[in-house]
Amino acid sequence: MVVWRGALAGVLWLLGCAGALAAGLPDFPALVKRNAGSVVNISSIGKLAAATEPAADDNSDDGDEDASPDAADALGTGLVIAADGWLLTNRHVIADAEDIVVRLPDRRELPARVIGTDERTDLALLKIDADGLQPATVGRADALEVGEWVLAIGSPFGFEQSVTAGIVSAKGRSLPSEPYVAYIQTDVPINPGNSGGPLINLRGEVIGINSQIYSQTGGYMGLSFAIPIETAMDVARQLRDSGHVSRGWLGVLVQPLTRDLAESFGLASPRGALVSRVFPDGPAAAAGLRTGDVITRFDSHEIDLSTALPPLVGATGVDRRVELAIMRGGKPQTLAVQIAALPDNEPPVASTEPVVTSERPLDRLGLRVAPVPPELRRQLGIPEGGVLVEQVDNSRAARAGLRQGDVLGMLNGAQIRDPDAFDRTLEDLPAGRAIALLVLRRSGPAYLALRVP
């Protein structure tokens, strides 16, 4: 009897919690009714080489034997942004498409033409010949807070007007595919076909365009990413007005600061964006920025993480002058820089397999270094200086990430011109202290932190 009463009490408690939870949930039906009229389904016919999303039966052995081997359907979602037929979607939904068909909420199907695309943000602007459409109500992604409820409408696997909900997991995420977008991360279930659809806040405003998922299976795994609506609308405006998108360019490569790297640069905390390369003809070089500087503020924006800098620079108008706050040698400085236009192709960094050219003994770091071969120097774009790492033993250097074929450009803040200069600098390194090594490799320059044995 006591057990029964305890179980009954538990059931009543659970029911009470469920009721309270239900009473506190957002009014999802109202949000859907407000926004469903702005969401369209997009079908495109293109070559198999097009960047199409996987279909629901990708793992199936069944198929249409009469289907053309040269064409494939791409299904996605689009958002109405103007009543006279302007639509936003993801570029990969319509990439290389020969025909694009837009299905409206009232079941009309209309052909669409591509006004322009932007590969860096994976966005495309489409136009259909229609009037009286329901444009989306646009909000502000920068006003979002982590933990806030959000809702998505799309066509996962071709199922139109599907609705899912979740919360904002993080803001300002930088993905390897595009450092110039500060993505919104959510746990909203997103699957192939949702791409290009809206992410909606509790006020019924579109605050993002669902774009990517992180997945090891091809399906939803709890990590979804949306392009902030401010970025998307700016891209749409530029594509409509000029057919292309221009972005600001500072002319640097940056990387995160670790605790050891911060110590090696004389900083109290690992805050800011560490400059690992300054392009010779870029705005940063003209302003006097150097490799090893740490950018702590860009214009009026504090830089805590290196990933915050590229989106800010990209959103800055070309030819605008901004102030940079930096740390150099542990001391604060300010520089004025005039932002240039981001080149279509930033200078590439290439590498080749090293050739062993010396029989030098291993040094105190567990390295064997040699002069940089002329061909490697040319491919890496190193006019002078540096040493080639020919061998790394199982030492702290290897554990710090140094590997054979790397080129060392700086050691503890000192430029390395040749192996002899490297030896002299090595002799003066203080034991037990964290030092920074500037490493040049195919993926680009990077600082590594190493404690001297």
Residues recognised as catalytic: 92, 122, 195
- What letter does residue 266 receive in the DSSP assignment? T
* Two structure tokens written together for 385: 């200086």
Q: How far is CA 416 from the centre of its chain?
A: 33
Q: Where are the alpha helices (DSSP H) in 170-297?
A: 229-242, 259-264, 283-287
Phi-psi map region of 218: left, alpha, beta (phi>0 left; psi -120 to 50 alpha): left
Sort strands 178-186 and 224-228 into parallel, antiparallel or unpaired.
Answer: antiparallel
* Two structure tokens written together for 195: 């791409």
Q: Determine the Cα–Cα distance for residues 109 and 130; give it in Å rounded to an integer.
A: 11
3-state class (DSSP) for residue 171: strand
Nearest by Cα to 362 from 331, 342, 390 = 390
Angle at 327 between CA 323 and CA 329, to 5 degrees: 140
Q: Determine the Cα–Cα distance for residues 221 and 191; give it in Å rounded to an integer.
A: 9
3-state class (DSSP) for residue 444: coil
Position 284, amino acid: A
Q: How far is CA 144 from the centre of its chain?
A: 18
At residue 264, what are phi and psi to the nearest 5 degrees? -65, -25
Exposure class string for 374-393: b at 16+ Cβ within 10 A, else e:
eebbeebebeebbbbbbebe
DSSP 172-187: EEEETTEEEEEEEEE-
Q: How far is CA 195 from the centre of its chain?
A: 16
C-alpha neighbours within 13 Å on the C-beta side of residue 312: 20
Sign of CA dihedral 208, 212, 215, 220: positive
Any residues with CB less than 8 A from the CB of 31 and at least 6 apart, and which? 151, 200, 202, 204
